[in-house]
Amino acid sequence: MIQQTLVLIKPDSIARGLIGEIIKRFEQRGLKIVGLKMIKPNKNLAEKHYTETITKKHGKHVRDSLLNYLTSSPVIAIAVQGSNAVELVRKITGSTFPGEADIGTIRGDFAHVSKFYMKDKNKPDNLIHASENKEDAKKELALWFSLDEIQDYKLAAETFIF
């Protein structure tokens, strides 16, 4: 099933010069970039992205630090398309806490901080965001991209991969 999903390259990745490295991971897997932009989110956008679900899941302190973090510096929003893209992009991203992320994933290859450090220091900087499921992907893509910002074209690799 062809799906679209949202990736955000977070400020820590951008500061570390990892934009190309991260985009490469999706391209080399044969996924298609159908939308791409750099944007400095305002409070309104950040609050719509990290909703009260985060408070319920992790507590108010985590949501507050995520909102501060996301509005502190530009991020890159990417619409990624491909077969079973939502799950595949999460797999390429790796576990939320880099210390637990598998080697070969983005978080597992470019960061190492432990769950305990992140929780203790309340640090949300784990390189990227990737939509958790199909429903979130739909909502998040609509939040970050207008319909005319999503492009339709053919990858040479589609002939072989899809």
Q: List interacting residues with ligand ADP (CB under 6 A).
A: 54, 57-58, 62, 66, 96, 118-119, 122-124, 126, 129, 132
58 is catalytic: no
> Which CB, 120 or 152, lies closer to ligand ADP?
120
Given a contact cutoff of 8 angstroms between Cβ atoms, the answer to whether 107 and 127 are in contact is: yes
DSSP 123-134: ----SEEE--SH
Catalytically annotated residue among 49, 58, 112, 129: 129
> Which CB, 100 or 158, lies closer to ligand ADP?
100
Please, what is the minimum distance in Å from the beta carbon of residue 92 to ligand ADP? Answer: 12
Separation of alpha carbons 3 and 68, rounded Å: 30
> Which CB, 27 or 132, lies closer to ligand ADP?
132
Smallest CA-to-CA distance from 147 within 34, 19, 42, 22 is with: 34
Given a contact cutoff of 8 angstroms between Cβ atoms, the answer to whether 123 and 69 are in contact is: no
Catalytic residue list: 129
